[in-house]
Every structure is written in structure tokens, then in C-alpha cells.
Amino acid sequence: MDTFSNSIGLPTGYGFPWFLIGSSTKPLMDKEDVDSVNEYSTEEINMEVLEISGAGMKIKASERKTLPRMTKYEKAHVIGVRATQLSAGAPPFVDIGNETNPLNIANMELSEKKIPFIIRRKLPDSSFEDWAVDELMIPGVDFQ
């Protein structure tokens, strides 16, 4: 056994074990500390709500700025989420025949544009666009 692991295989470095922060046996606060915190927690805190105009607003379908092409990252995310749903027992939206692999079924659903997901694209000005999967051109299906 080397100097960088102990009997259970954990790294020890220079002869001392590696611990997560806060994993000591000493309590972080004693009773006096808790009581002193409780004295200040009854004070009322006044907060002002700031309105930022245009932030977080949905862009209308007629005013969309992004292209109607699904990115490879969006495609991977949609297939992964849908495959997870299928493996958890969700019913497929296409005829699967003898197919049992959830990834293949999710790919079949995506190629037929039967996945009822909406992709939210966040824009730099804090607004967002919602695109249904059936509105987008899908890489490998609609274009190469």
C-alpha cells in the first residue's frame, strides 16, 4: 500500500486523511450561538422589489429571433429525457414493433416528430422563445 491511500482505499496524501469540509465531530454551533442568532431573526427586513422591464418575457411566435433548427445539444437532451420517460414506463407515441430499447424508441419518436416537448431557448436579454419539437428541423432527419 502506498502513502496515498489508506486501508479502505481512500486517498490520504502526506499521511493525513482527506475529509470533506464540515465533517469533523465538533458541532458547528453550540447552544449560546443558536440563542444569539435567534435574537436577531425576529427583526423585520424590508425588501424592495425591482422591476426590470422586458426581462423574462416570452417572445411571440411571429417575432422569434432564433432559427427553426434543433441543435445537436437540444436533440441529445430531448432524446435523453424521452428515453428516461420510456424506461420509467411511459407509453410510446409511435408503433414500436419489437423494439425494446428506450433510446431507439425515442429516436423513432423524434424522427416522426411525435415527441410532445417544448424547447425553451433563453436569449441574452433574459427573454425566451418556446419551440415545439414538431416546429423544428431535426439534424439527421430533415437536413444533413
- d(C-alpha 77, C-alpha 71), whole Å: 10
Q: How far is CA 69 from the centre of its chain?
A: 21
H or E segment and range at residue 131 = strand 128-132
Cell of 120: 425553451
pLDDT of residue 109: 95
Model pTM score: 0.59
pLDDT in tens, 33-43: 555 555 555 45
Fold of 61-135: Eukaryotic RPB6 RNA polymerase subunit (3.90.940)
pLDDT of residue 71: 93
Q: Where are the domains of the chain?
A: 61-135
Q: What is the rounded distance in angstroms from the CA atom of residue 46 to the CA atom of residue 64?
A: 39
Instruction: Detail the DSSP E strand segments found in 25-100.
Output: none
